[in-house]
Amino acid sequence: MQVLFICDYALCYPGLRQLLDDLDDDVSLTTVTNIDDAELPLANNSFDLIISIFDPVCSFQKANCATEQDIQHCLEQAGDVSLLREQAKGAPVILFTFRESVHLARKVMANGAAAYIPLSSSRDVMLNALRLVLAGGRYIPPELLSGRWSEQDSQQQIVITTAQHEEDDHILTPRQRDVLNCMAERKSNKVIARELNVTEGTVKVHVAAILKALKAENRTHAVLLANQQNLT
């Protein structure tokens, strides 16, 4: 599994490394300190996940933010999720954050983030959130919702859900397309894992995500639907 980690906090790296090792036996981790430095690896690689440590607290303090426009400006400075998603070629963008804010969670999810995960969460919660995203879902911690979402937010599905992003231009990530092409050739998970140089566990996660994204009942049905949508 290919992961890009965007963070300028050196102390966060060991914790994320351990979390990813618990998630998958074969993780290749590329690290950069900011979004600008992420442009080159994003252009030259096909990542399964983009993870960023999102810490707008310092930006708020420095800018003395008060209005919604100020907050949005600081959010964009701290991490432009829309830009990341555009450069990521469909790979989900996950934000780990020091700030437990419903308002900010709404902002980043509206910009296309797949998850907003407080760093105060337990290890099991973080792992399950990552698994949910890899399966094609989105995650916001329930304690941040607290019944405060508006009806419009609900309609936009800014909630914990296993639904694929309906607004995505790319229904599948590049790596999922690779797996789908192998599925179309009737290759087993073991063969796919060997050809793509990933673990069988990673392949199973991608297959599950493909079935969810295409609303397919099984692998054969997924290939049929993919052919109808010109995805293979």
140 and 223 share one domain: no
Give backbone dihedrals phi and psi of 43, rounded to 5 degrees, phi first.
-75, -30
Please indicate, yes or no, whether residues 62 and 100 belong to a single structural domain of this protein: yes
Q: Examine residue 160 and state whether it is found in any structural domain, yes or no.
A: no
Question: In what order do the strands lie in the sheet containing 93-97?
Answer: 28-32, 2-6, 49-54, 93-97, 115-118
Quick check: is 49 in a domain?
yes
Q: What is the mean pLDDT of residues 206-222?
A: 86
Do 144 and 178 sit in the same domain of this protein?
no
Identify the CATH number of the domain in which residue 53 sits: 3.40.50.2300
Range of the domain at 36: 2-155
The count of other CB atoms within 10 Å of the CB of residue 13 is 14
Residue 110 has pLDDT above 90, yes or no: no
The tokens describing 44, both together, are 């030259």
Res 162: pLDDT? 35
Tell me the average pLDDT of the chain. Answer: 76
Q: Are residues 143 and 189 in the same domain?
A: no
Considering its fold, how many domains does the chain have in total? Answer: 2
In a domain, 25, yes or no: yes
- Whole-model pTM: value is 0.59
Answer yes or no: is 169 within a domain: no
Tell me the two tokens of residue 106: 């709404």
35 closest CA partner among 83, 94, 95, 106: 83
pLDDT above 90 (res 51): yes
pLDDT tens-digit profile of 192-205? 989 988 888 788 88
Domain check: are 120 and 179 in the same one?
Answer: no
Count helices and strands (H / E) in the chain.
13, 5
In CATH, what number is assigned to the domain containing residue 197?
A: 1.10.10.10
What pLDDT does residue 53 have? 83
